[in-house]
Amino acid sequence: DAGITQSPRHKVTETGTPVTLRCHQTENHRYMYWYRQDPGHGLRLIHYSYGVKDTDKGEVSDGYSVSRSKTEDFLLTLESATSSQTSVYFCAIKGTGTGELFFGEGSRLTVL
Amino acid sequence: DAKTTQPTSMDCAEGRAANLPCNHSTISGNEYVYWYRQIHSQGPQYIIHGLKNNETNEMASLIITEDRKSSTLILPHATLRDTAVYYCIVRRANSPGGRSNSGYALNFGKGTSLLVTP
């Protein structure tokens, strides 16, 4: 258990509303990631963080922003949600070994 | 990171060994082979990884060919709970710097859908 908690686990919202997903870790890992998973596309990297206030874009970052003001929390924000952002979002942390990532249980977001 | 090729789907009888192949013919000398699986609706789960030698842990064994161009994940006694999508991923373990190469992020392909049947 890598001590990762995602919240909320399920959310339904309307187009145009802001949404923030939270990833919380308890083990002080430096690297954290946000992925989304959609049928036919698999898991795709949205943003990642390599330390407090240090973040970078992944493959599908348009429409998303992130923040990491403290080690344990990595927030993913959809400023104005669209139906194309309906997806399952997974947070991950990099363990202290040789590159293994450990994932949270996912947050299912539906944008109507 | 090197590209990997896996079969789309496989079946295995419960109690038998499940052997999942992966081709990575363009792998570089400093790239590791990682295996993950994803059980329906759950987050991906790390299984095992290796560089050149065969590896074994409580979940599985990883056999890497001598030329490192392919590998096989072995689940020695498959159970119904092993039904999942299995991903083979190749990448360097230690990227130079924090920001380069997506900070150790892994690129998941489509994987192999393993069905374990009674």
Q: Name residues 15-74 of chain B within 8 A of A (Cβ).
A: 32, 34, 41-46, 49
Q: pLDDT category, B19, cuts 50, 70, 90? A: very high
Per the rule left: phi > 0, alpha: psi between -120 and 50, beta: everything else, B58 is alpha
Determine the pLDDT at residue B107: 86
Percent of chain A with pLDDT over 70: 97
* The total number of residues written for chain B in this structure: 118
Give the mean model confidence (pLDDT) for residues A61-83: 96
Give the mean model confidence (pLDDT) for residues B69-91: 96
Q: Are A112 and A14 in contact (CB under 8 A)?
A: yes
HEC readout, B6-68: CCCEEEEECCCCEEEEEECCCCCCCEEEEEEEECCCCCCEEEEEECCCCEECCCCEEEECCCC
Lowest mean pLDDT across A68-72, A85-89, A96-100: A96-100
Chain A CB within 8 Å of residue B7 CB: no
Chain B CB within 8 Å of residue A40 CB: no
Q: Are A88 and A107 in contact (CB under 8 A)?
A: yes
Determine the pLDDT at residue B93: 67
Q: pLDDT category, A14, cuts 50, 70, 90? A: very high
Q: Tell me the C-alpha distance between A79 and A91, whole Å.
A: 18
Per the rule left: phi > 0, alpha: psi between -120 and 50, beta: everything else, A63 is left
pLDDT at B33 over 80: yes
Residues of B in contact with A3 (CB under 8 A): none
Q: Are B115 and B9 in contact (CB under 8 A)?
A: yes
pLDDT at B99 over 60: no
The string of pLDDT tens digits covering residues B101-111 is 567 888 888 89
Largest CA distance in chain B: 48
Q: Tell me the C-alpha distance between B89 and B93, whole Å.
A: 11
**Peptide bond before residue B118 is cis, with ω within 30 degrees of 0:** no
Give the mean model confidence (pLDDT) for residues A82-89: 97
Determine the pLDDT at residue B101: 58
Give the mean model confidence (pLDDT) for residues B82-90: 96
Q: Are B94 and B51 in contact (CB under 8 A)?
A: no
The string of pLDDT tens digits covering residues B53-67 is 899 999 999 999 999
Contact B93 A98 (CB under 8 A): yes
Percent of chain B with pLDDT over 90: 75
Give the mean model confidence (pLDDT) for residues B46-55: 93
Determine the pLDDT at residue A1: 56
Q: Tell me the C-alpha distance between A23 and A25, whole Å.
A: 7
Of A48, A94, A103, the CB nearest to B44: A103
pLDDT at A57 over 60: yes
Q: Are A89 and A107 in contact (CB under 8 A)?
A: yes
Q: Report chain B's mean pLDDT, rounded to a whole number.
A: 90
